[in-house]
Amino acid sequence: MSSLSITPLSTALGAQISGVDISQPLNLEQHDAIEQALLKHQVLFFREQPINPQQQARFAANFGDLHIHPIYPNVPEQPEVLILDTAETDVRDNAVWHTDVTFLPTPALGAVLSAKLLPEFGGDTLWASGIAAYEALSVPLQNLLQGLTATHDFIKSFPLERFGTTPEALAQWEAARKKNPPLSHPVIRTHPVSGRRSLFVNEGFTTRINELSDTESEAILKLLFAHATRPEFTIRWRWQESDVAFWDNRVTQHFAVDDYRPARRVMHRATVLGDVPF
């Protein structure tokens, strides 16, 4: 019998997991329990898990292939683990509600975030459930949105003026832009495992709803961005050093609160690739 324990943290999403050491290889029972908890609770939190980049990548790889980010720096010996260090990189694009890498044809299934260096206060992260947000919409609005698609664009969160400021950075940005042109995903996404529907637009990367006029698109996106992040659909995590969060990126958004400057904050993230949204 597994000693893994799951403690729900709110109705909409979030659970704390204990009784497992994720620095070690998971057995089948642990893997399945974590996978099922992720499907149910959408974001999982693990306290006191001082994992190194190799252990972080191994844990994340239990759930799929890992992504190498086109812009953010990574751990040289473990390039699948990116570094979010406020002393080195402009990370203000994380201080907006976003779903990771929706500019990819196969956006992330999930991500594993590890706290390495924290400010004395501040620096919390919030997550919002796209499932809870969708289910709270009126049926007429659900019907209107079903079948619509939206454009997601890499440069909305990675604009040239911030990420092309040196010749080396410019070359990296141009290569990333060429590899990641704007693309479309459904406004309402069906979870490939649970079958539940979720809002799948986010302020970080979504630029317009394709089937609507510019004015209509702007109005509907403004409504959806505000609706999706209502407090009752969210959870806020106060980080402690060596905490790890693992979230289902298919049905959530998150927001890293930028309220601790000039203190430094360092996080490591491993991103698990997913599938084509439908």
**Tens digits of residue pLDDT in 29-45:** 999 999 999 999 999 99
Q: Are residues 39 and 170 in the same domain?
A: no
The DSSP call for residue 182 is -
What are 124-172's pLDDT values in tens digits? 999 999 999 999 999 999 999 999 999 999 999 899 988 888 999 999 9
Shared domain check, 23 and 116: yes
Q: Is residue 212 part of a domain?
A: yes
User: 225 lies in a domain?
Assistant: yes
Contact between 137 and 147 (Cβ < 8 Å): no
Do 110 and 198 share a domain, yes or no? no
Whether residues 194 and 245 fall in one domain: no
Whether 70 maps to a domain, the answer reads yes
In tens, the pLDDT along 11-32 reads 999 999 999 999 999 999 999 9
Residue 1 has pLDDT above 70, yes or no: no
- 192 and 87 inside one domain: no
User: Which residues form the domain of 171?
Assistant: 129-229
User: The tokens of 25 are what?
Assistant: 């290889």
User: In this structure, is residue 78 part of a structural domain?
Assistant: yes
Residue 97 counted as domain residue = no
What is the percent of the chain with per-residue pLDDT over 70, rounded to a whole number?
A: 99
Is residue 278 domain-resident? no
Quote the CA–CA distance of 2 and 9 in Å, as a whole number: 21
Closest CA to 6 of 39, 44, 32: 44
Together in a domain, 51 and 86: yes
Same domain, 14 and 109: yes
Residues 13 and 63 in one domain: yes
| Same domain as 158, residue 25 | no
| Strand, coil or helix: 226 | helix
CA dihedral 251, 186, 160, 164 (to 10 degrees): 60
Residues 173 and 225 in one domain: yes
- What's phi and psi for 210, nearest 5 deg? -65, -35
Q: Which of 20, 11, 82 is nearest to 41 (CA)?
A: 11
- For the full predicted model, state whether its pTM sits above 0.75: yes
Residues known to be catalytic: 98, 100, 254, 269
Counting the structural domains of the chain, the total is 2
- Both tokens of 53, joined, read 């980049």
Residue 71 has pLDDT above 90, yes or no: no
Dihedral sign, Cα of residue 2, residue 113, residue 249, residue 123? positive
Do residues 115 and 13 both lie within one domain?
Answer: yes
Q: How many Å from the N-terminal Cα to the C-terminal Cα in the chain? A: 37
Assess whether pLDDT exceeds 70 at residue 222: yes
- Are residues 158 and 152 in contact, defined by beta-carbon separation less than 8 angstroms? no
For residues 117 and 176, membership in a common domain is answered with: no
Q: Is residue 172 part of a domain?
A: yes
Query: Is the CB of residue 266 less than 8 Å from the CB of residue 85?
Result: yes
- HSE-up of 167 (CA within 13 Å, CB side)? 0
182 inside domain: yes
Domain with residue 158: its CATH number is: 3.60.130.10
